[in-house]
């Protein structure tokens, strides 16, 4: 008799979670910062989890990475300098570098082992982006970086874990204060904010902490299959730029001019993703 294959159970939500058949465990270790597992699954391809929470899969990563990147990048008229906080798998970096206006990217990731293992096991996530001459990769604390750096940025993207463990500080007022100080005028900040049906408090907390610092704050969404529990919510903040309500014709012109293909993002979705479900609007 063949033995049933082991399953990976996500423990992000208290009384319910998804599980994956692990065809093969490719890597597992307690890094300096978190518990890292990479395994093979027949449905999703390679899957990475940190501290019991699914972070990325080969099959659906494009939805999250395109929406967290191209919404701010097509909002800014000419993004040159970009800061990525977290994002150790390189998926955001890959998408950012598709924009030819970009002259420099700084990425601050706390866990060197996540970067190394993702280069090995998720080569398509970064697709060579870690070797791009425009990149300055810093292994370090994102909160300290944004509060200390002399650099400033047109677009800042926070691709963090959930607000537990090492990711928790990336949802604090201290982090957002640092973001404000290194965001150029005319710049825009975006951050992943969990699945809003199950993590409504996370959205409310972000709104409460971002609103005193930025003139404009809002949220947008996309359904990412392996971030289960409904729509994934993204926060945005800016002093003077509004990613929502952009004119469809000019978005379309810029998208065509950019000259690269996307698999989820498109100008119509850019406009539509700011419409939020009533339960979320009521909570806000």
Q: Which residues are designated catalytic?
A: 159
Backbone angles phi, psi at 173, to 5 degrees: -60, -35
C-beta of 87 vs 187, nearer to ligand AG3: 87
Does 162 bind ligand AG3 (CB under 6 A)? Our answer is yes
Alpha helices (H) along the chain: 61-75, 91-96, 112-121, 123-126, 142-148, 173-182, 200-210, 248-258, 267-272, 278-283
CB of 236 to ligand AG3, least distance (A): 16
Does the CA dihedral 190-191-195-196 come out positive or negative?
negative
Q: 111 vs 154, which CB is nearer to ligand AG3?
A: 111
- Interface residues for ligand AG3 in 5-44 (CB under 6 A)? 12
The verdict on 57 binding ligand AG3 (CB under 6 A) reads: no
C-alpha 206/C-alpha 229 separation (Å) is 19
Residue 75 or 226: the one with the smaller Cβ distance to ligand AG3 is 226
- Bridge partners of 209, per DSSP, are none
When asked if residue 56 is in the footprint of ligand AG3 (CB under 6 A), the reply is: yes
CB of 50 to ligand AG3, least distance (A): 8
Distance CA 166, CA 231 (A): 23
Considering the complex, state which of residue 44 and residue 267 has its C-beta at the smaller distance from ligand AG3: 44
Position among 155, 195, 210, 231 found at the interface with ligand AG3 (CB under 6 A): 195
User: Which SS3 state, helix, strand or coil, does residue 4 take?
Assistant: coil
Part in contact with ligand AG3 (CB under 6 A); list of ranges 30-38, 72-80, 158-166, 263-271 = 158-166
142 near ligand AG3, rule: CB under 6 A: no
CA atoms within 13 A on the CB side of 181: 15
Helix axes 200-210, 173-182, angle to 10 degrees: 50
Closest chain position to ligand AG3 (CB): 227
- Stretch (H or E) spanning 84: strand 81-86
What is the footprint of ligand AG3 within residues 218-277 (CB under 6 A)? 227
Binding site for ligand AG3 (CB under 6 A): 12, 53, 55-56, 87, 89, 91, 159, 161-162, 192, 194-195, 199, 227
């Amino acid at each position: 008799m063949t033995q049933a294959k082991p399953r990976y159970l996500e423990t992000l939500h208290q009384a319910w979670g998804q599980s994956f058949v692990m065809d093969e465990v490719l890597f597992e270790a307690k890094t300096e910062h978190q518990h890292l597992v990479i395994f093979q699954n027949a449905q999703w391809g390679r899957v990475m989890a940190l501290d019991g929470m699914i972070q990325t899969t080969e099959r659906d990563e494009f939805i999250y990475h395109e929406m967290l990147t191209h919404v701010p990048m097509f909002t800014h008229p000419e993004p040159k300098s970009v800061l990525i906080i977290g994002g150790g798998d390189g998926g955001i970096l890959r998408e950012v570098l598709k924009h030819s206006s970009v002259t420099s990217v700084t990425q601050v990731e706390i866990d060197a082992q996540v970067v190394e293992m993702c280069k090995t096991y998720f080569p398509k996530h970064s697709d060579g982006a870690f070797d791009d001459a425009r990149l300055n990769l810093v292994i370090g604390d994102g909160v300290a970086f944004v509060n200390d750096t002399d650099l400033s940025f047109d677009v800042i993207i926070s691709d963090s874990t959930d607000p537990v463990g090492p990711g928790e500080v990336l949802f604090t007022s201290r982090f957002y204060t640092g973001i404000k100080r290194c965001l150029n005028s005319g710049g825009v900040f975006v951050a992943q904010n969990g699945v809003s049906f199950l993590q409504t408090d996370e959205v409310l907390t972000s709104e409460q902490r971002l609103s005193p610092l930025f003139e404009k704050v809002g949220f947008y969404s996309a359904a990412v299959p392996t971030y289960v529990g409904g729509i994934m919510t993204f926060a945005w903040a800016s002093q003077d730029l509004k990613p929502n309500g952009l004119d469809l014709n000019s978005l379309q012109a810029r998208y065509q001019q950019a000259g690269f293909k996307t698999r989820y993002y498109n100008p119509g979705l850019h406009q539509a993703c700011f419409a939020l479900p009533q339960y979320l609007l009521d909570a806000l």
